[in-house]
Amino acid sequence: MAEWELNRPERLPLPQPDEEAEPFFAALLEEKLLLQRCANCGQLSHPPRMACAQCHSFDFEWSQVSGRGTVYSYAVTHQPIHPALVDHTPFATVQIELEEGPRMTSNLIDVPPDEIEIGMAVEVVFERVTDEVTLPLFKRA
């Protein structure tokens, strides 16, 4: 057995939230999907950022969103780009356009890559990976 197989991790590295992203990941633990909303102009944004892309304000609040959206785009990966993915190819990385506007990159849990369609209705599911990390994945709506 090759060395890399002996040292094969069971899963991909988990997110390490920075200061801006901490509220987003804390809400996921409670199975809530929050987006940053600019307190100055109301613009929703994702991923969390230091300043509003529209008006450059540093003032944000957090707004719970529906978790519903559609497939905006996707890419299918056939090569395992990480040892934890050896038994999981092909897989699709999907960009979801949330009904509130912002787009989120994720995976679909119940749709094989060759059945994904642009515009397909999807909704969030909360995947508890560890006691500290829950990830927002999506399923067919």
DSSP H or E segment with residue 29? helix 22-29
Nearer to Zn ion, 63 or 73 (CB): 63
The answer to whether residue 40 forms part of the interface with Zn ion (CB under 5 A) is yes
The least distance separating Zn ion from the CB of residue 57, rounded to whole angstroms, comes to: 5
Size of the site for Zn ion (CB under 5 A): 8
Nearer to Zn ion, 101 or 112 (CB): 101
The answer to whether residue 41 forms part of the interface with Zn ion (CB under 5 A) is yes
Look up residue 32 and give its DSSP letter.
Answer: -
Q: Using alpha carbons only, give the angle 51, 16, 94 rounded to the nearest 5 degrees.
A: 75
The stretch near Zn ion (CB under 5 A) out of 3-11, 12-20, 33-41, 131-139 is 33-41
19 sits in the region (left: phi over 0; alpha: psi -120 to 50; else beta) called: alpha
Residue from the set 12, 55, 121, 129 that interacts with Zn ion by CB under 5 A: 55
